[in-house]
Amino acid sequence: MHCNSVAEAVKGADIVTTITADKAMATIITADMVEPGMHFNGVGGDCPGKTELAAGVLTQGKVFVEFEPQTRIEGDVQQMPADFPVNHLWKVLAGKEVGRDNDEQVTIFDSVGFAIEDFSTLEYIYKQSIQRGIGVDIELVPTPIGPKDLFTHTRRGQLRSVKRRAV
């Protein structure tokens, strides 16, 4: 589907994900684009000074974060006052807090990328695939035979591959 604007692209969407590379405050979603029940994944606001969701979007929804101290520096919430309320994703996943309160509520995941979370998820999926006997091993990460030779990977036949399970 071809759209002439961001507003046209998100109209009527249930889930909107923003992932931009520009290292600046580049507002992609504005408050007037928010509709009841929408969920936003703000993934591109991942360093100080870089945001994608306008402050008016954040004030319209329930905001979830991975690791609050990091998100307040790097995420979209960096543009909000220090006392702006956020909810911890882990508490929702652990059943300690509710996520969405009702079908009309706007929810926002302000993701900045938390490495331990990524690794833990991958490790869990890998172990589950082995336990269930699903997936296949594939060559994913080349390992140079001479690790101190940074150019080993540029010469054919000079690689060992580390096998990883793909599911």
Residue among 14, 32, 46, 137 flagged as catalytic = 46
93-122 core/surface letters (b: 16 or more CB in 10 A; e: else): eeeeeeeeeeeeebbbbbbbeeeeeeeeee
Quickly list H helices, the chain: 6-10, 55-58, 68-74, 89-93, 115-132
| 137 is a catalytic site residue | no
What are the residue numbers of the active site? 46
